[in-house]
Structure 1
Amino acid sequence: MRKILLTLIVMVTVLFGCQSNTSEERNDGGFLWKVENEDTTVYLQGTIHVGNEDFYPLNKRIEDAYEESDVVLPEIDLNEVDPSISQTLMMELAMYEDGQTIADDLTEDTYADLEEILQENGMSIEMVQQFRPWFMEMLLMEFALEETEYSAEYAVDQYFLDRAAEDGKEIRELESFEEQLLMLSGFSDELQLEMLENAILNYDDMAEELDEITAHWLSGATEELSGTTDVEETFEGYEEYMEEMNTNRNIGMADTILELLEEDSGETYFVFVGAMHMVEEPSIVSLIEDDGYEVEHIY
């Protein structure tokens, strides 16, 4: 169950690649900003939701920002997700009703391609045909991730969560697992199907794209996080998807951060969320700047 939860988090914000345009040679992460108000400091760390042991420690500026913090704010605290509750909710949202199956939504050719992918990964389509498109797409993401040298268990987010728990730092979620699950399962049936069909069509490239995304994160590409392919041309539901996946979530997270700044508690906060949220407009960084704050790009 935990493996499925970790894969879900990968799916939420790793669906976009980035193109490096920095001349500095780097291989230790990036996407760190800082904003202050009087005696209150907020560090904003863009992360990637996969990794391996070689990632750590991260750049000293990132590690120091974490060390300075009194409170850490992840997207969600996976360590506190109740597996029994989350599994029940996930199955309720993931499964078709009234005997419908994925075969009812896919063309014969696409269904055959999906069946072949599943067989290649040791799974028969009869085992999963009752799952809706969004969940099936997540399953393909899990298969692709297993073909890379990275794992969600070594994700940058998980690294900071585990350290914060060990160090006794206060952890405050910016979102909840339930909210993210409802978002993914709440896309229109048409968009879910479009996303799955696209994942099936491009499955052979998915692992390579995950490798590329990770390499770009390590190199600190900060100006583009909009996809390794031109999703706007191939993805008809792009605007609906981005409004929910990026815009609305960024507004909500930025509002929480602005409240912390306005409270001016004198504490230091370390926010760590997917790097896309720091650079894809309207980004958390730009939303905070729009409120009149100066946000310093540290690394």
Structure 2
Amino acid sequence: MKTFLLTAFAALALAGPPAAIAQTAPAPTPAPAAVDADPALWVVKDDDTTIYLFGTVHVLKPGLSWFDEGVKKAFDASDQLVLEMVPPPDAVAGPAMMKIASNPTGPALSDKLPADLKAKYEKAMTDNGVPVAAFERMDPWFPGLMLSLIPLQKLGYSPDTGAERVLMKAAEAANKPISGVETFDEQLGFFDTLPEPAQIGFLRSTIDSLPRVQSVFDSMVVHWSAGDPDALGKVMNEELRETPEVGKVLLSDRNARWADWIDTRLDTPGKVFMAVGAGHLAGPDSVQVWLGKRDLKATRVAY
């Protein structure tokens, strides 16, 4: 499974789940007893500026105690929160997503799929309670999004308990400014502008990996909770690098731009808590690697 794509799509769910997901989401269950988690945290600083760099998981189950200890201390010490993107209101996000993903002209989605994939796609849609005809006029990445997120919702993963939502609520309560290094439309555009064969490949990969969603995502959360970015990076990014064109657009190029943002932000005094998807902070294309190319060092915070 392209786990990085799965978690990247999950970031878009922060703006509110699309209708097909909301209709299949289970009823809330009582939160279990808290389990301690200690995700990795880094810091980049100069004489008058401190930027904490925290890797997030966009959707989580209730019951992980991670917003404490070193993470909470760094957040409390910061003047502002910076995310990948600030999610727009549901009333804006839904129409924007549908507009960008729609394909009103040309062949229908099912006509673009090879016969074997079409059969698997129809079964996956039916199994997950989504009408097969619902996305006939959508680009292939969109049902890939839907079929990625519905199983996670059924397993109890939710953006409501994901790291970004927790951080946003804390920032709002503390009157800290919240900003994003990307926009919602920009993030949608990354997926929508992927070549159609790559989109279809993602759809196939998603469908083929549906039986393994729980084991893969649970494993990813275990590595994140243990503060093991190397193991997390292998789970999230290894398959993405098998498709260099996609990896360049969704991972390497974005990490380089975020390193530029950090470099520029160091010119302004203050303390920043920057939270981005954990897959961006692991591996040979990580934000930290790009910072090193700019003679900047991200130091792991021990806590």
TM-score (norm. length: structure 2): 0.83
Structure 2 matches for 1:1-299, cutoff 5 A?
9-10=9-10, 27-78=36-87, 81-98=88-105, 100-224=107-231, 225-227=233-235, 231=239, 238-263=243-268, 265=269, 267-299=270-302
Residues 70 and 193 of structure 1: is their aligned pair in 2 closer, same or farther, counting only changes over 3 Å?
same
Change (3 A) 1:108 1:294: closer
Tell me the alpha carbon deviations over residues 87-123 of structure 1, each in whole angstroms, 9 at most, x when there is no partner.
Answer: 3332222122326322111122221211111111222
Distance 1:243 1:187 in 2: 11
Q: Which runs of 5+ in 1 are unaligned?
A: 1-5, 14-25
1:71 aligned partner, one-letter code: Q
- Secondary structure at 1:174's aligned position in 2? strand
Letter of the 2:234 partner, please give it: S
Secondary structure of the residue aligned to 2:181 is coil
Where 2:182 maps in the other structure, the secondary structure is coil
* 1:58 aligned counterpart, secondary structure: coil
Inter-partner Cα distance in structure 1 for 2:55 and 2:213: 22
Q: Give yes or no for contact 2:10–2:58 (8 Å, CA) kept in 1.
A: yes
RMSD: 2.4
Calculate percent identity across the aligned residue pairs.
Answer: 23
Q: Deviations over 1:165-198 (max 9, x none)?
A: 1110011211111110011111001111111112
CA contact (8 A) 1:148 1:210 kept: no
Checking the alignment, whether the CA contact within 8 Å between 2:36 and 2:66 is kept in structure 1 is no
Query: Which has the higher mean CA deviation after the structures are superposed, 206-215 or 181-190?
Result: 206-215
Structure 1 residue 76: deviation in Å?
0.9
Tell me the alpha carbon deviations over residues 69-89 of structure 1, each in whole angstroms, 9 at most, x when there is no partner: 0011111112xx143443333
1:282, CA displacement in angstroms?
2.2
CA shift, 1:243, in A, is 0.3
Q: TM-score, normalised by structure 1?
A: 0.84
The code of the aligned residue for 1:271 comes to M
